[in-house]
Structure 1
Amino acid sequence: MFRLAFIGVTVALCTLSIALGQVNEATDEREVGLNLLAGLYVSSRIVPIATQAPVGFELRYNRMHTSQQAWEQCHCLYRSGAFLNAYSFRNPIALGQSVGAGLFFEPLLLHRVRWDVSVRALAGITYVSRSYDAVTNPGNRAFGTPVNGLIGTGLFSRYAISSHWKILAGFDYKHISNAGVRLPNEGLNIPSATVGLTYYTGKAVLSPRYSHVSESGKRWMVRGLAMASVKVLEATDKEPERGYPIFGLNFIGGYHLTQAHVISGGIELLDDRYFKEQILRWTGHYQPYRQVTVLGGYEFWQGHFAFTAHMGWNVVRPFGYKPATYQKYGLLYRFASGFTTGVAVKAYGENTKNFQALVGMTL
């Protein structure tokens, strides 16, 4: 399957390159590229343990946005586009291979005539050929379902070697998980080194930059968000598999070191009906299950977008709740009115607990 996917991606790359070459130069630059991915470590949480790190490739198609309207969205030049990738986990018994696709957003950190540096955020879905089965694959605790969510980030540099070709190199990180839809769901992290070749339309020229005025002179910000999620509890001999809602409130205050860089912290209140039922199965009766968490971390603001990363410590938690700390990462969009929406993921290291939908206000 991996070999057939590689052939398919190569054919698609050639077809897109020819098509792009036949189109007149557009106002915004277009790119199509093929990257090779080499994993940086071997996961030790799978039985049998893989002896080699994952390898893969990724086909990208994207557009550079250079208009004033695009600039106002994130106060940056950025690329956005779609990707198709495939991985061999080099562990045919437990993990097999995967094929995934999705969308990405890639702001430029530095931009020069022949080279640039960018950071990417992506989201999509992926199919894995080997998922957990109590009989045939009990050692795979990473994937509880064949179809999983795919999120990731990366840091890349491109350099133009001719009028239509660039080389790309950088660091790529992806996380595969089903967000607790079905257990087990420890997830899998894939940090990788990447190199690639990119065909682009037009010439390697410096795109225009636009000045902007800060939306406000305030250094302090406050944000309140309502959270909602669903998590599935495994079936037992007595109980069927069933999803339980998780609700909460997130209150954050922050200080702008600069317009883009914010240190922030606050508290989170959680009503976790999933854990309530889990305690019932453990102890035979209901116990206090609500949680209060103290958060602290960093946010990167680009125009209307905000990337958030916080560490959390559960100061109030139910009996048997482990571990007491977790990480939380979010992508938010703030409208001019302050109305804010987005998504967040809660994780303990490689173990993804759940994804959350967020809505609220930022002042």
Structure 2
Amino acid sequence: MFTSRYLLIACFVISSTVLAFGQENEPDEERELGVIALQGISKPTYITPISTQTPVGIELRYSRLHMRRESWQQCQCFFRSGVFVNAYSFRNPEALGQSIGAGLFYEPILVHRARWGLSVRALAGLAYVSRHYDAITNPGNRAFGTAINGLIGAGLYARYAFAPGWRLLAGFDYKHISNAGVRLPNQGLNIPALAVGIQRYMGSSTLPNPQNWRNVDPGKRWMFRVMALGSVKVLEANKEYPERGYPVFGLNLIGGYHLTRTHVLSGGIELLDDRYFKEQIKQWTGRYQPYRQGTLLAGYEFWQGHFSFTAHMGWNVARPLWYKPATYQKYGLLYRFSNGFTGGVAVKAYGDNTKNFQAVAGMTF
């Protein structure tokens, strides 16, 4: 919680920074700078020594409200985009320590009124954690296998303008820190939190009417996408083998049907050559065995302009028969260029356990 002294300091810093950005030219699009306090609402139970308190954090955000037609057409919505810097105390100094993170965020506006609004945010970045797994000095930390980790998150926020140029912010914030299975152990850490903050803004926040910007042509109903994927995973050292990174690459083929321009049912196959898994099998069984995997995928996609969010269930129909689990979830965030070239990132997970991040690139037809 902030004391009144810290609130005054925060307000001064916010005012000075935003005004500095706007001194040369009065921006026609709103700029916003805010400081947010984050109070965690759950604590990890798989850490030794066990965490007895929930995490707390603070975050500084700077964003721009995009109101031009070319921006609106990217997602068929008005949105903010910007940068953030945050710091967390996990309040378990022996096992988890603290973190410092930074990255980019994208925040579509759901409701916009003269004095209040509602928005949803997605973010991605990197986080440094002060305490990570070490077989000798920190064997109880199963959350972080490396000091540098990926940071992803989402949130739902409400804003209320209580004075000219000033807003209060409140909402729900969720972040996940992990190295995506690059180096084990990698249980990762989920940080759901309540967010309360203060925002300083300047520039126009009056949104234009996009009615004439809409394309009423429903377009083609069927779509097809072919994507190459790649990643790297690090196999832990043991008494017989040194630590080593192995490539993961494959091919993702998806077909889908547009129920509407936004909502798509899709399915397909994924072929995976996981050299990390190949070496794992050798260590488990003492010999190389067939390791390549073939997966059937089925799921849903949400398309907004050039962006699409994908969510699929996968069933490994081609795999070592003894290997479990046979199913997994896969989520992706993709961007399609006008010529059909598509790129983005995908996450493979078993429940809440993130197994792998993948870079993907290909074509959408």
Structure 2: give runs of 5+ residues left out of the alignment: none
2:166 paired with 1:168: no
Match of 1:14 among 5, 12, 15: 12
**Deviation of 1:207 (Å):** 4.2
Q: Give the 5 Å matches for 1:220-259.
A: 220-259=222-261
**Deviation of 1:317 (Å):** 1.7
**Deviation of 1:134 (Å):** 0.8
**Residues 145-181 of structure 1: CA deviation (Å, up to 9, x unaligned):** 1111111111222222222111112221111111233
**Deviation of 1:72 (Å):** 2.1
Question: Which residue is equivalent to 1:154?
Answer: 155
2:95 paired with 1:94: yes
**Residues 237-272 of structure 1: CA deviation (Å, up to 9, x unaligned):** 221111111111111222223222222222211111
Question: Which residue is equivalent to 1:106?
Answer: 107
Match of 1:302 among 301, 304, 313: 304
**Deviation of 1:27 (Å):** 0.8
Question: Which amino acid in 2 is paired with 1:156?
Answer: Y
CA distance, structure 1, for counterparts of residue 186 and residue 318 of structure 2: 25
Question: Which residue is equivalent to 2:347?
Answer: 345
CA distance, structure 2, for counterparts of residue 263 and residue 161 of structure 1: 43
Q: Give the 5 Å matches for 1:105-124.
A: 105-124=106-125
CA distance, structure 2, for counterparts of residue 340 and residue 214 of structure 1: 24
**Residues 128-158 of structure 1: CA deviation (Å, up to 9, x unaligned):** 1111111111000111111111111112222
Q: Which moved more, 1:276-285 or 1:118-127?
A: 118-127
Q: 1:13 and 1:272, CA in 2 relative to 1: closer, same or farther beyond 3 A?
A: farther
Q: Does the 8 Å contact 1:108/1:119 carry over to 2?
A: yes
Q: SS state of the match for residue 333, structure 1?
A: strand
Q: RMSD over aligned Cα, in angstroms?
A: 2.2
Structure 1: give runs of 5+ residues left out of the alignment: none
**Deviation of 1:273 (Å):** 0.8
Q: Under a length normalisation based on structure 1, what TM-score does the superposition of the two structures give?
A: 0.92
Q: SS state of the match for residue 161, structure 1?
A: strand
CA distance, structure 2, for counterparts of residue 14 and residue 318 of structure 1: 61
Question: Which amino acid in 2 is paired with 1:241?
Answer: E
2:315 paired with 1:313: yes
Q: Under a length normalisation based on structure 2, what TM-score does the superposition of the two structures give?
A: 0.92
Q: SS state of the match for residue 337, structure 1?
A: coil
CA distance, structure 2, for counterparts of residue 39 and residue 248 of structure 1: 38
CA distance, structure 2, for counterparts of residue 83 and residue 13 of structure 1: 17
Q: Which moved more, 1:52-61 or 1:348-357?
A: 348-357
CA distance, structure 1, for counterparts of residue 8 and residue 244 of structure 2: 42
Question: Which amino acid in 2 is paired with 1:18?
Answer: S
Q: SS state of the match for residue 136, structure 1?
A: coil
Question: Which amino acid in 1 is paired with 2:339?
Answer: S
Question: Which amino acid in 1 is paired with 2:358?
Answer: Q
Q: Which runs of 4+ in 1 moved over 6 A?
A: none
Q: Does the 8 Å contact 2:218/2:260 carry over to 1?
A: no
Q: SS state of the match for residue 38, structure 2?
A: strand
Q: Give the 5 Å matches for 1:50-61.
A: 50-61=51-62
**Deviation of 1:114 (Å):** 2.2
Q: Give the 5 Å matches for 1:188-267.
A: 188-202=189-203, 204-209=205-210, 211-213=213-215, 217-267=219-269
Q: 1:343 and 1:334, CA in 2 relative to 1: closer, same or farther beyond 3 A?
A: same
Q: 1:214 and 1:179, CA in 2 relative to 1: closer, same or farther beyond 3 A?
A: farther
Q: Does the 8 Å contact 1:77/1:209 carry over to 2?
A: no
CA distance, structure 1, for counterparts of residue 137 and residue 288 of structure 2: 35
Question: Which residue is equivalent to 1:70?
Answer: 71
Q: 1:229 and 1:110, CA in 2 relative to 1: closer, same or farther beyond 3 A?
A: same
CA distance, structure 1, for counterparts of residue 136 and residue 9 of structure 2: 39
Q: 1:177 and 1:13, CA in 2 relative to 1: closer, same or farther beyond 3 A?
A: farther
**Deviation of 1:349 (Å):** 2.8
Q: SS state of the match for residue 163, structure 2?
A: coil
